Amino acid sequence: MHFGLGIDAGGTYTDAVLIRGSDGAIVDSKKAFTTYPDLQEGIKNVLDSLDQELLKDVNLVSVSTTLSTNSLLEGTGTAVGLIIVGEQPAQTEFPSQYVLCASGGHDTRGDEACELDLSSIEDFILWTKTKVSAYAVSAYFGVRNPEHELKVKELITKMTGMPVVCGYELSQELGAYERAVTAVLNAQLIPITYQFVNSVVKDIRARGINARLLMLKCDGSVYNIEDALEKPIETIFSGPAASLLGASYLSKMETCAVIDIGGTSTDVSMLYNGVPEISVSGAVVGGWKTRVRAMKMETSATGGDSHIWIKDEKVRIGPKRVIPLCVASKIYPGFTSKLKRSRVISRTTMDENFQPTKFFVRTGYEASDVDDNEKEILTFMGSDPISVTEMSTVMSKTTSSKVLDSLVKKRLIQGIGFTPTDALHVLGIYTKWDVSASEIGALNLSKYIQKGKYDFCSHVRELVAKNMAADLMSYILPHHPAEMIDDLLSHEYPAKFKVELPVVLLGGPAQAYDSELRSLIEADVVVPEFADVGNAVGALAGKGVKRIEISIMPASIENPDEDFLLFSPVGRERFQRYADAVEFATKLGTELVLDYEMRCGILKQDTKITVSKKTTSPDNWSHPPLTTRVIVVGIGNPMMVLKD
Residue 306 bridge partners (DSSP): 321
* Residue 288 scores a pLDDT above 70: no
Which residues make beta-bridge pairs with 567?
A: 551, 572
Q: Residue 442 above 90 pLDDT?
A: yes
Q: DSSP label at 139?
A: E
Digit-coded pLDDT (tens) for 357-396? 999 998 877 777 788 888 888 888 877 899 888 888 877 7
Which region among 271-280, 288-297, 553-562 has the lowest average model confidence (pLDDT)? 288-297
Q: Which amino acid is at 291?
A: R
* Burial environment of residue 551 by CB neighbours within 10 A (0 to 12, 13 to 18, 19 or more): middle
Residue 348 is classified by DSSP as G
H or E element at residue 30 = strand 26-33
Type of residue at 639: M
What is the largest distance, in Å, between two alpha-carbon atoms of the chain? 84
User: Rounded distance, CA 506 to CA 497, Å?
Assistant: 21
- Contact of 269 with 503, CB cutoff 8 Å: no
Average pLDDT over residues 182-187: 77
Give pLDDT, residue 97: 80
* Cα(319)–Cα(264) distance, integer angstroms: 8
Q: Positive or negative CA dihedral for 113, 119, 122, 128?
A: negative
What pLDDT is recorded for position 376? 83
Lowest mean pLDDT among 63-67, 282-286, 428-432: 282-286
Compute the residue count for the chain: 644
- Asked if pLDDT for residue 73 goes beyond 60, the answer is no
- Output the pLDDT for position 554: 92
What is the average pLDDT value for the chain, to the nearest integer?
A: 83
Listed in sequence order, the residues at least 6 apart from 382 whose beta carbon sits closer than 8 Å to its beta carbon are: 361, 362
Angle value at C-alpha 551, between 545 and 556, nearest 5 degrees:
175
pLDDT for 584 equals 95
3-state secondary structure of 375: helix
Alpha helix segments (H runs only) across 533-628: 534-541, 578-599
Lowest mean pLDDT among 93-107, 304-318, 528-542, 563-577: 93-107
pLDDT score, position 232: 62
Q: Which of 376, 372, 406, 409 is nearest to 391 (CA)?
A: 376
Separation of alpha carbons 185 and 281, rounded Å: 17
Q: How far apart are CA 400 and CA 7, in angstroms?
A: 39
Give me the pLDDT at residue 328, please. 93
Query: Minimum mean pLDDT among 174-178, 476-480, 503-507, 596-600: which range?
Result: 174-178
Domain boundaries defined on the chain: 81-184, 544-643
Return the top range by mean pLDDT from 224-238, 295-309, 544-558, 614-628.
Answer: 614-628
Predicted confidence band at 286 (pLDDT cuts at 50, 70, 90)? low
